[in-house]
Structure 1
């Protein structure tokens, strides 16, 4: 299993610095293909799997929970629950919106049923709920810890100030401290994390697991103009990155990848692993064929020169 930041509750540390994103399961990956991706990931030494109760409610015909259901079916079929670390999130499922205590408790039970397990290894507050007093949300997570339903707490999409407040409340009340932070962070979107979150992640020794590590596929290099976006499931998200500054990042990324004879996603993930407090970037694979480049990104050690070249070119990007 994986050790997160200041937590030793997860046993030994994984050698694979990559978290498999489950957002494609039940969306662009069928149940059968999802099983193949999960088999390939764990077969290569991966153990950390990230999902959310809302995946993939945005797809026509889906209602949320599809990803968790598929992962649960895979765990049951393989009988390998103790070999993986499950991370999931609460606040965005259509039936369980927000972070009020009763909602958190009900959503967690629904997630546990879909996953077919008696505990969640890492449970994230997915998005801040400013309509609910933060003290109540922190208390709700502590109740899940006490009941053994979750093993550790994480926060995602919170401002630095709100993360600090969470820690203040938890310390004041003697509650369990968060161990993980999941921010939007990649080569073409650095501001959110580096403008304040990185400071608190360092101060609290949080394990940082960035989502959109490949900028919705943009950093794979397959979307370089509007024509490339036609018919793509992620066209709306990847299309936001078609700017002159971000295309220059692609050029530098491509040049380094070509020289090293690796894929562009490999280099993009390796750069994230050089960043402050980043433990394991999150990356999704629609098919098993996409996994090798991601797995390589968990092992490639960039030279200081290459890492700095990417940092420099991406510094000019306006989020």
Structure 2
């Protein structure tokens, strides 16, 4: 899953639906705070709204309400995938962009390779995937195309980049992102770029304070050396880092329920306790603290966070303005050990 769904939760002193503008670095979120998306030339809000819930757990109307809430908070970057709800997520986002008339104001990022009709990153399927995504999104270009290496273990990287080169030159794609690539594959991709192939500018990798193994190490070093914009998915560890789920008895017998249950141990409880203390001190939701921790990692540009209700957006965007001090970061570091 790319990104993480926020589950609404409120605790004493921490409003779930703030009634006044939320400050971001001393400014209201509506003032449209932007950060550079690597060397793409694009500037985005520091939290990307993921569309994994659209067409899966929520319908078109509910999805549009979430998108409207994000836009109203100053958000301008969306992430979806051709495999989300078999393309329904893209269709919902496309309908929203068209009905609001704001396509030129929003950065649309798409991960491809996972749709059952066009699986993998082979030349033919990659072109078909992009064309299908463009139709569903009702747009003429994808701003950032994430190539999902996890869906294809056979296509040579050079072949994939050669196809991506045509997609960029034809104007169908503005910039490339990597997903599921190893550190060595990123090195290979950079070598190929010196021969004229398009460069990866963005990296999507599962990463949060509890789940660090996929990124920390060689991948992080290479991403930093190459100046990649890191947009972590699973930012809230399937919703656990919202603090809403603390008891196995309330979990459904689903994949997500199993994912949440996996953290209901001493370490998970210790982390939530630390987040609760910081949440109370800063008067922002736990989800906001989790997002703020990611933004405190200098290599992170913007995490991808999914939402199922407008109130979820209200919670996680507060992480942009929540400033974690050294003591806060140290408390979290001790808790996650």
- The normalised TM-score by structure 2 is 0.87
What are structure 2's unaligned runs of at least 5 residues? 1-33
Which of 34, 50, 63 is equivalent to 1:21?
Answer: 50
Alignment correspondent of 1:267: 289
Q: Does 1:252 align with 2:281?
A: no
TM-score (norm 1): 0.91
Report the count of equivalent residues: 303
Once the two structures are TM-superposed, the CA of residue 5 in structure 1 deviates from its matched residue by 1.1
- Residue matched to 1:3: 36
Distance in structure 2 (CA, Å) of the matches to 1:137 and 1:45: 35
Query: What is the aligned counterpart of 1:203 among 225, 234, 242?
Result: 225
**Among 105, 123, 144, which residue is 2:167 paired with?**
144
The answer to whether the 8 Å contact 2:167/2:173 transfers is yes
Q: What is the distance in 2 between the residues matched to 1:284 and 1:203?
A: 29
Which structure carries more strand by proportion?
Answer: 2
Q: Flag the structure with more relative contact order, 1 or 2, with Cα contacts below 8 A and sequence separation at least 6.
A: 2
Please name the residue that 1:68 is paired with.
90
Assess, with a 3 A threshold, how the Cα gap between structure 1 residues 54 and 115 changes in structure 2: closer, same or farther: same
Counterpart of 1:242 in structure 2 is: 264
Aligned residues of 1:2 and 1:48 also touching (Cα < 8 A): no
Instruction: Tell me the alpha carbon deviations over residues 31-87 of structure 1, each in whole angstroms, 9 at most, x when there is no partner.
Output: 00100111110111100100000002xxxxxxx001000000111111110010000
User: 1:153 matched to which residue of 2?
Assistant: 176
The aligned counterpart of 1:181 is 203
1:121 CA displacement: 0.1
Match of 1:40 among 58, 69, 72: 69
Q: Is the 8 A contact 1:92 1:127 kept in 2?
A: no
2: distance between equivalents of 1:217 and 1:46?
Answer: 21
CA contact (8 A) 2:142 2:174 kept: yes
Tell me by how many angstroms 1:3 deviates: 2.9
- Residues 198 and 276, structure 1, Cα contact 8 Å, conserved in 2: no
| Displacement of 1:186 | 0.5
Matching residue of 1:60:
none
Hey, what does 1:108 align to over in structure 2?
130
